[in-house]
Amino acid sequence: MTRPDSRPSLRTELLVNFAVLAIAALVFAVGAVVLFYDQAEAARGALYISLLVAADVVVLVVFCGWQINRLIIRPLRDTAAATEAIANGDLRRRVSPYESRELQQLGESVNRMTDRLIEEQTQLVRAEKLASVGRLAAGIAHEIGNPLGALSGYSHILRSCVKGDAFGHDVITGIERETLRIDRIVRGLLDYARPRKPSPLPIDVNESLRHVVDLLNAQGVLRRVSLRLELANESPRVYGERHDLEQVFVNLLLNAAHAVEPTGTVSIRTRCTSRETLEAGMVRAGDAPGANAPHLPSPRVRRWLDSDDRPGDVVKIIVADSGPGVPPEDSERIFDPFFTTREPGKGTGLGLAIVMRIVENFQGIVWVQTAREGGAAFHLLFPLAPETPGAPPIPSLELVEPVPTIART
C-alpha cells in the first residue's frame, strides 16, 4: 500500500510563508510608527517612518522573491534540465526529490516516464532479437539440417565398421553427442519461426508441476536435489496449452538443478492470491513478524498489475533454489535470447527467453529476485481460470505469438 505523502502542498507553503511575512512586516511598521511618533521631530519622524516602511517593503519583496525561487523557480529549472538531459539520451538522469507535494509529483512523473522509456527500449531490443532469431532459423534450417542428417547417417555406418575398437567407439560417440547438440540448438531456433495455431484450455497448475517433477525424477535430474513442494489447496487453473506450461516448469527446474550442483535445495510454491494483496506485500513463512516481502521488483511488474484488463485474482508460482542467484544487473537480461551465465558450450541462452514468451502468451508475467533460500527465485503470475474454485470470470484469452519449446538454457 502506498504511504500518503507527508510533504506540504506548494500553495499551502506559499500562503503560510507570505502570511507570516506580511504579519511580521505589519508589526514592524506599526512598531516603528509607535516608536518614532513621540520621540522625534515631526519632519524627521515622518522621514524615519518612511525609511523604515521602505526598508520593510524591500525586505518583504526580497524574501518573497527568495521563497518563489526556492519553492518554484529552482525546482522547475532543475526539472527542465533533467528532462532536457533525458531527451538528449542520458537515461540515467533522474529528477531530485522536492519539498512540495506538487513538484515532487512532477519529478516522480518524469522519473516514471524515464523508467518506462528504458523498459520500452528493452522490450524493443528483445523483440528485435526474437525477430532476428526467427529470420536466422528460417534461413539456416535447411542449410544445417541436411548436413546434420548426413553426419548422423555416416556416424552409424562408422560404428558398424569399428567393431572391437574401443577408441573408435568413443570417437563416434563424441561425434553423435555433438551432432545431437547442434540438432537441439537448431530445433530450438526453429521453434521461434514455426507458427502454430494455439488451442488454450484450462490447466491444473499443481497437476502439471507434479507431472514435471515425476518426469525429471525419472530422468535423474533431481536425484541430488532436496525438493520442497508447497502447493495451493485450491487446485489453481490457468488458460493455455498444457505442453507449454510444462515446458516452462521443465526449463525453470533444469536451471535450478544446474544452479545448486552438486547438492542443494529447490523449492516450488503455488498459491492463489489477489492483486491487492500483491500490491500491499505478503508476509512470507520465513520472515520475521511484521516483515513484508516485496512483490514489485520492477516497473514492468507494476504495469502488469495496474493494467485495466488484469483480473483481481491470480495464481503465483515460485521456483526458488539455493544456488548463487542472479546479479541484480542481469535480472532483466537473463530473459534475452542467447544471454546465458553458463560456461561456453553448456547453454544456448534460449531457455528463459522461451519461458518469458510462453508466460506472456498465457497473459502472465515472470521476473526473478533473490530467494529466501539464498539463490534465485523465479516468480510467475497467471490470471486464474474460471474453472478454479472461487475464481471470477476472466476476459477471453488470445495467444498471438507462436510458442517455442526447448528444454535447456
3-state helix/strand/coil string of the chain: CCCCCCCCCHHHHHHHHHHHHHHHHHHHHHHHHHHHHCCCCHHHHHHHHHHHHHHHHHHHHHHHHHHHHHHHHHHHHHHHHHHHHHHCCCCCCCCCCCCCHHHHHHHHHHHHHHHHHHHHHHHHHHHHHHHHHHHHHHHHHHHHHHHHHHHHHHHHHHHHHCCCCHHHHHHHHHHHHHHHHHHHHHHHHHHHHCCCCCCCEEEEHHHHHHHHHHHHHHHCCCCCEEEEEECCCCCCEEEECHHHHHHHHHHHHHHHHHHCCCCEEEEEEEEEEEHHHHHHCECCCCCCCCCCECCCCCHHHHHHHHCCCCCCEEEEEEEEECCCCCCHHHCCHHHCCCCCCCCCCCCCCCHHHHHHHHHHHCCCEEEEEECCCCCEEEEEEEECCCCCCCCCCCCCCCCCCCCCCCCCC
Q: How far is CA 375 from CA 91, 323, 330, 380, 392, in A?
A: 30, 4, 14, 16, 35
CA dist., res. 193 & res. 141, Å (int): 10
CA dist., res. 302 & res. 151, Å (int): 50
pLDDT tier for residue 206 given thresholds of 50, 70 and 90: very high
Q: Which of 7, 28, 225, 1 is nearest to 102 (CA)?
A: 7
Q: What is the pLDDT of residue 242?
A: 86
Kindly state the average pLDDT of the residues 286-293: 52
CA dist., res. 270 & res. 287, Å (int): 18
Q: What is the pLDDT of residue 362?
A: 86
Grid coordinates 518426469 are at which residue? 215
User: Strand 264-274 relative to strand 225-230: parallel, antiparallel, unpaired?
Assistant: parallel
Q: What is the pLDDT of residue 398?
A: 37
pLDDT tier for residue 284 given thresholds of 50, 70 and 90: low
Q: What is the pLDDT of residue 141?
A: 66
| CATH architecture observed for domain 123-193 | Orthogonal Bundle (1.10)
pLDDT of 16 over the 50 cut: yes
Q: What is the pLDDT of residue 148?
A: 81
Kindly state the average pLDDT of the residues 83-95: 84
User: Strand 225-230 relative to strand 313-321: parallel, antiparallel, unpaired?
Assistant: unpaired
- Domain residue limits, the chain: 10-99, 123-193, 201-383
- Which one is predicted more confidently, 189 or 340? 340
- Which one is predicted more confidently, 285 or 128? 128
User: CA angle at residue 315 from 309 to 317, to 5 degrees?
Assistant: 125
Q: What is the pLDDT of residue 350?
A: 72
Name which of 87-101, 223-237, 284-298, 336-350 the model is least confident about: 284-298
Q: What is the pLDDT of residue 327?
A: 86
CA dist., res. 407 & res. 206, Å (int): 20
199 exposure class (CB count in 10 Å sphere: 0-12, 13-18, 19+): exposed
Q: Supply the pTM of this predicted model.
A: 0.59
pLDDT of 246 over the 80 cut: yes
Kindly state the average pLDDT of the residues 95-114: 82
Q: How many CB atoms lie within 10 A of CB 247?
A: 22
Q: Which residues contact 174 (CB under 8 A, 6 or more apart)?
A: none
pLDDT of 36 over the 70 cut: no
Q: What are the backbone dihedrals phi and psi of residue 382, each rounded to the nearest 5 degrees, phi first?
A: -130, 145
pLDDT of 317 over the 90 cut: yes
pLDDT over 70 percentage in the chain? 73
Beta partners for residue 159, in sequence order: none
Kindly state the average pLDDT of the residues 239-261: 88
pLDDT tier for residue 285 given thresholds of 50, 70 and 90: low
Q: What is the pLDDT of residue 190?
A: 66
- Which one is predicted more confidently, 223 or 145? 223
pLDDT tier for residue 210 given thresholds of 50, 70 and 90: very high
CA dist., res. 335 & res. 365, Å (int): 12
Taking each helix axis as running N to C, give the angle between helix 242-259 and helix 205-219, from 0 to 180 degrees, rounded to the nearest 10: 50
CA dist., res. 229 & res. 405, Å (int): 25
Q: What is the pLDDT of residue 201?
A: 84
CATH of domain 201-383: 3.30.565.10
Kindly state the average pLDDT of the residues 231-237: 86
Q: How far is CA 307 from CA 16, 115, 301, 355, 364, in A?
A: 40, 17, 10, 22, 12
Highest mean pLDDT among 3-12, 138-147, 204-213, 219-228: 204-213
User: Strand 313-321 relative to strand 237-240: parallel, antiparallel, unpaired?
Assistant: unpaired
Beta partners for residue 314, in sequence order: 273, 383
pLDDT of 72 over the 60 cut: yes
pLDDT tier for residue 393 given thresholds of 50, 70 and 90: very low
Q: What is the pLDDT of residue 105?
A: 83
Q: How many CB atoms lie within 10 A of CB 151?
A: 16
Q: What is the pLDDT of residue 45?
A: 64
Contact yes or no for 25/56 (Cβ under 8 A): yes
